[in-house]
Structures are given as structure tokens and as C-alpha cells.
Amino acid sequence: MERGFRRIWRGVLPEGRSEEVLRVRFRGRYRGVDKVTEVRHNYLDMTTKRRSLQQHGSLNRRPEAVRAPLFAEHDFFDPEDLVQVKYEMLRRVRVEGEAVSVVAARFGFSRPSFYAARERFESEGLAGIVPRRSGPHAGHKLSEEVVDFLEEVLAEAPSTRPSQLVDRVQQRFGLHVHVRSIERALNRRRKKNSRRGG
């Protein structure tokens, strides 16, 4: 049972639910049954929000890993809200000046994950830390025409960075592709060419 959760609430949960459903949310030190209405209201708010977070890909799959005191002391801070968790993690380092390794661990992230989130936040703002929907696991294959274009760009200017290639594809074809998609497409083309040559 999570901290602050009281067995008394077992009797007020919707039928078929257990205290496990609410384990992350109830941290207040409720005393007595005068809070039953509030608990029912919080439960409905929580399930609606959780469903919305899940639909938008923003549900933190490991809320129990968030050990930052604010998330335990205040209902406003929700360890299941991945955007809120990441934002507060970034804020603690930038504004409060805390060490990256300490803060990342306290918020349930690795240091590389912290740096990736910080880079996206600095380049895209809040939208950068909103999880992106993952596409098909096989990835979107870029058309032969797009890969031909990428090879032409690189032949003319070999020092072109992957992020610049993303911009060039956007300008030429109106496609928004991820850097990794470009890297994978170019690697596939190189392997294909090496098999032909060898």
C-alpha cells in the first residue's frame, strides 16, 4: 500500500475496484469518513485524466519511480502525467540548480533521458517534451525518390548534418520525417549498394 493511503477508502471505491487503482493518487492524510464525497470526486477526476493521458501517449508508465517530494506532498503534481514530470525535472535543474544525476534519478529518468528531454525542450518548447506517437515498429520507409535526393544533397555537401537533411526533405517534399528515419534509410541504401558491389 502506498504512503498516505488509508484502508478506510476501500469501502468507498466503485464496485470491483481496489485500493491499488488509487495507489498513486491518495497521499493526503485523510481522517474519518467526512471525505467520502471528495474521494469519489477525486476518483472520477483521476480516471478521466488517466484515460486522457493514455489516449495522448502522456501516461507515465512508471509513476512509482517519481520520488520528488512535490509529487508526494501536493495533489497538483501528478506522477502519472509524463509531461508534468519531465517539465518539473527540467525546471529543478535549470532554476533550482540541482545536479542532473540526482534530479534525473528522483524523477525516474536516466541521465541520457534527461539530456534528450532538455534538448527537445530547448529547441521546441513544451511541445518537445510531449511524447510523440510511435509509428509502426518497422518504421516508415522513405521513397526511393526521397533517398535519391538525400544522397544528392550529401554528395554536394558531405558535411550536411542530419537535422539539416530533415529541413531539406520538408522543403522539397513537404514531408516531416525524423532524423532517425533518414539515418535508417541512408544506411539501408548503403547496405544495398555494398551488396551489389560485393
The residues spanned by each domain of the chain are 7-55, 63-129, 144-197
* Averaged pLDDT, 45-56: 81
Cα–Cα distance measured from residue 70 to residue 93, given in angstroms and rounded to the nearest whole number? 15
Q: Which range among 3-7, 102-106, 121-125 has the greatest average pLDDT?
A: 102-106
DSSP class of 68: -
Residue 118 pLDDT grade (very low, low, confident, very high; cuts 50, 70, 90): very high
Does the global pTM surpass 0.75?
no
Please state, rounded to an integer, the average pLDDT across all residues of the chain.
77
Higher pLDDT, 134 or 171: 171
> Is the confidence at residue 85, as pLDDT, over 80?
yes
Q: State phi, psi for 131 to the nearest 5 degrees.
A: -60, 140
- The dihedrals phi and psi of 28, each to the nearest 5 degrees, come to -65, 160
Most confident of 54-58, 96-100, 176-180: 96-100
Q: Are 169 and 149 in contact (CB under 8 A)?
A: yes
Task: Give the span between the Cα atoms of 134 and 131, in whole angstroms.
Answer: 9
Q: Pick 43 or 126 by higher pLDDT.
A: 126
pLDDT of res. 6:
36
Closest to 33 (Cα-Cα) out of 56, 11, 5 = 11
Mean pLDDT confidence for 131-151: 72
